[in-house]
Amino acid sequence: MRFLLLCLFIPLLALTKQPELKPFHIRGFAQGTTYQITYYAKDSSISKEQVTYLLAQIDSSLSIYKPYSLISQFNRSASGLQTDRHLQKVVKKAQQVSKKTGGAFDITVQPLVQAWGFGAAPASGLPDSAAIQALLQCVGAHKIRLQKGHLQKAVPCVLIDVDGIAQGYTVDVLANFLEKKGIRNYLVELGGEIRVKGRKPDGKPMSIGIEGPAANNPNDPYPIQKIVRMETGAITSSGNYRKFYQSGSRKITHLIDPKTGYPLDNELISVTVLAGDAMTADAYDNALMGMGLKKAFDFVNRHKKLEAYFIYRKTDGSVADTATAGFTKLMK
């Protein structure tokens, strides 16, 4: 889901002899979407070429759309391969989240994602129950193992897809790069996944608008639902109202339940998660979508380093929202 960034980039007036912080912007296209970086500094210290290089490194590791990437090589392999630091970090986090969520987040879901028409290759048609049962034999977090940098698969048919966590991880890589360059005030966004630190030069925190579906409003189908003000941390979102297709009267969403093999079908429309880093938030927003509202809300309340905002459909068909206490405090 996309966030609408509402940051007003206003240079600090030179009230003292200290050099004023100026806004610098880097924008581009990566991972099938757009990205933008805004940072405040005395001088430009980051180039787009540097960002492009980092993004290319990540693609060479994590992109299922690049046949030469490590993840593509793993998927073609019979037993596994030696990973790089990018794939190691993402798989390690994915396995942690899978364990904590009881398998609600599972990167081995790739065969099912492909079968339902959301993979790197076109699908020939909708899978039947027999096909799904066969594919489920290749799915399960316990079917992969990361040991001393080597990622092993239990059976050759195991395939992984880290799209549910890779954009958040990429945002973290870019944010960490900025911090290594001494930048203390920034906003990094890729595909709507965001990480921020510091404030704008006028002293105000970063403001982020969260969009969501609106009923019966064709002129603005995805208006801003809430505005969040934050000084540090990450905010990401997962939803089922943008990426889907219709098959007759049936709505097929890109979020697949790794336990049943079928697209998610519950009252949740979107989940927005706040966490200390974007990779963590990105993994949990997908997992929470699969839990349903009550279970997801209870889960977040049990994990104090997470906060969440939920948009859901009530039994009468109307759209409603709710949020955890920590998230509510940050909303305008």
Q: How many CB atoms lie within 10 A of CB 153?
A: 21
3-state secondary structure of 243: coil
User: What secondary structure letter does DSSP report for 263?
Assistant: B
User: What secondary structure letter does DSSP report for 217?
Assistant: -
Is 317 annotated in a binding site? The answer is: no
**193-197/206-211 β-pairing:** unpaired
8 Å CB contact between 1 and 167 = no
Distance CA(136)–CA(155), nearest Å, equals 12
Distance CA(244)–CA(178), nearest Å, equals 35
8 Å CB contact between 68 and 99 = no
3-state secondary structure of 105: coil
Is 282 annotated in a binding site? The answer is: yes
Alpha carbon separation from 318 to 283, 290, 312 (Å, rounded): 28, 20, 9
The label of the residue with tokens 């992969």 reads 144
Residue type, 302: R
Angle at 179 between CA 211 and CA 286, to 5 degrees: 35
For residue 44, what are its two tokens?
């430009």
**List of E strands, 109-162:** 144-147, 150-153
3-state secondary structure of 250: strand
Distance CA(197)–CA(190), nearest Å, equals 15
Phi/psi at 245 (nearest 5 deg)? Answer: -145, 160
Distance CA(14)–CA(23), nearest Å, equals 14
8 Å CB contact between 56 and 49 = no
Binding residue ranges:
164, 282
Binding residue ranges for Mg(2+):
164, 282
